[in-house]
Amino acid sequence: MSSRPGRLGLPAVLAASVSVAALAACPSPRAPAVSVPEPVAAQKPHEVPSPHGARIDPYYWLRDDTRKDPEVLAYLEAENAYTHAALAPVASLERTLRAEMTARVAQEDASAPVFENGWWYIRRWKPERQYPILVRKRGTLDAPDEVILDANERAKDHAFFNFYGTTVSPDGRYLAWTEDTVGRSQLDLRVKDLVTGELLPDTVSNITPSLAWANDSRTLFYVGKDETTLRSRYVKRHLLRTPVSADVLVHDEADGAYYTSVGETKSRRYVQIAMRSTTSNEVRLVDADDPAAPPRVFLPREPRHEYALDHDGTRFVVRTNSEAQNFRLIEVADGADPADKRTWRDVVPHDPDALVGGFDVHEAFLAWNERRGGLQRVRVLPRGAALAESFTPEANDPTFVMSLHDTPDLGARTVRWSYASLTTPSTVFELDIASRRRVVVDETPVPGYDATRYTSEYVHATAPDGAKIPVSLVRAKGTKVDGTAPVLVYGYGSYGYSQDAAFSQHVVSLLDRGWVYAIAHVRGGSEMGRAWYEQGRQQHKLNSFTDFIAASEHLVATRYAARDKVFAWGGSAGGLLMGAVLNMRPDLYRGVIATVPFVDVVTTMLDASIPLTTNEYDEWGNPADKAAYEYMLSYSPYDNVGAKPYPSLLVITGLWDSQVQYFEPAKWVARLRALRTDENLLLLETDMRAGHGGKAGRFDKVDQWARRYAFFLHVLERPDWRAARGQWP
């Protein structure tokens, strides 16, 4: 029996006096002793109030909104040192994995060229460079490159760097983008004059990546964040080369349930101001030729009504769930009143078996993503044709994903989409609407990869309530289905986001070592339609967790995996999934990675000052309601840690994360250390210079994946504490 429950109340960074080797009481050989001691967080009881009674949180002190508290930082650094030392035995393996993964990254590459307003735009990657170089060519692809932004130059003086939202003014003169040099997604506006090369002093801080130009090419709309909650709250209008202090407030969204964004319609007729909550939307339009005109509401917000629109020059096309759970596409002619639903005309009627996703309007065609049977395809409808004449490209794999590419040229006569599968790297196709001739415009190069060596499958597990849970899986053809292989199961299951079977070059390192990789398409996503999402949110959230468990058990029962070699990972809301299934079935998994995990559900949802909270009541529930409070409390990973054995666990977070604050995983690990009764690895790694997405550079990301897979391989080779005591069923 572990002595951890008896260590309560020790000083914050007081270390246990035992090494990693001494922690293992089982008789099997262990890794060499690690000199860095295991951190133990102090317990400092703190009362967390709620309308339904207070809870005592002994690790609340780990929350430091300033990120400057010496005691908190010392604890996080001690955890980092412990993790580094505990994984030192696999440092060589990590280097090997890094070399393998780096070898599969093309040193030199380019994106598919995109045509807009007389220019072709391309992103290029150069050898050993972390970030792309943005170039353009005037008129023809044979024209010389003009470098408009070298992100590597922008990044060179920063420990963390990422950039987003690059957009060129309609006249082609100005490039606007946003930068993050901290990792907290509080971005800074940058504008460059592409004629003179001048970087304008027009800089605004604490904004989102959402930018939109008016047609005068001098007026730029941007979205600012709330100073406390970081919610994308207000829209301002900026005139280039004028003081930002003179920027005009266009919209201030007072309702904390809504996030705000801006964009341009395909016709360039309007600037859109979009407000979106979890279950409802509202769009306001500004005349792009008269940017000072007040915005007008297209359709006022209604409970449970979600919609998105675009304009193709003569009509609005709207994706709406009005009288359509799986959404439909309707059109509203210019001049008609969209609030009068008698003016709506179905273009793509509701289909209970097919979820209508994102769409793209053009003069010659309409295209949209369609999800049927759990798999996403692209469907194309030529302008003026009947729906029966629409078509979808063929797929060559049992599980795959097609994704429509939204191209900016309204007059385009070709449609673009990408195709990928668990065995097929992403390929971008372009199809001529008239001739139906299809060409490849871009293939993601993966040096050294041979797709013929791998096979993918699409199977179904049965949930406790009888629901059929799709599972996509891939393995090397030489890996036998005989119940001996290790399996890594990934899941997410929130916000209606579907986890498609896309290619990952990093997973190949596991497949080549005899692993199976699986994606459990659990409820809470939209893989099987909108009802799939509804069955995995709020008072039905437990379905996400039991679905994942059922998928894991199915892979063992059907002999894709060995009973004692089941591994799992998930991030953010998928980290919540990991925490919940660990409390429910810790015996099922050998090792787990939870990245930036949302694990302190109740405390976070009670605090409206924390980013994302008020926007997410429709996803998790409002804890002011007693039933919602008690339901969240029943599965919140942090609140349900128990005195029992847990599998080996690596928890990864970022100090500057604005989506899931670092203190959630830090508190979770602290409570696990205090209560667990096992001797398995329990590691917390905090990136002190990054946020929710970790490092942004392409080779830095390779480092992150090499560390994660080294952990899994290390745990596979370590004698499992429970197995040594005969505790596997």
List residues with catalytic annotation: 572, 657, 692
Read off the tokens for 381: 């409808």
665 dihedral zone (left: phi>0; alpha: psi -120 to 50; beta): alpha
CA-based nearest residue to 560, from 689, 650, 474, 468: 474
Amino acid symbol at 444: T
Alpha-carbon separation of residue 688 from 76, 166, 655, 663 (angstroms): 9, 27, 5, 13
Grouping H, G, I as helix, E, B as strand and the rest as coil, residue 214 is coil
d(CA 548, CA 677): 24
Distance CA 322, CA 265 (A): 22
* Rounded CA separation 182/417 (Å): 34
In terms of Cα–Cα distance, which of 162, 97, 98, 101 is closest to 130? 162
The answer to whether 542 touches 462, Cβ cutoff 8 Å, is no
Q: How many helices (H) and strands (E) does the chain have?
A: 14, 37
Cβ count near 617 (within 10 Å): 21
Q: What is the distance between the alpha carbons of residues 150 and 39, in angstroms, rounded to a whole number?
A: 42
DSSP string covering 233-262, please?
Answer: EEEEEEETTS-GGGPEEEEE---TT-EEEE
User: What's the rounded Cα separation, in Å, for the pair 240 and 189?
Assistant: 12
Comparing CA positions, the residue from 278, 286, 243 lying closest to residue 262 is: 286
Which pair of tokens denotes residue 590? Answer: 């050998």
CA pair distance 74, 671, nearest whole angstrom = 18
Let me know: does 16 contact 22? Beta carbons within 8 Å: no
Q: Which two tokens stand for residue 339?
A: 């609030």
Residues in the chain: 729
* Alpha-carbon gap, residue 275 to 71, rounded angstroms: 40
3-state DSSP helix/strand/coil % of the chain, to nearest 5: 25, 30, 45
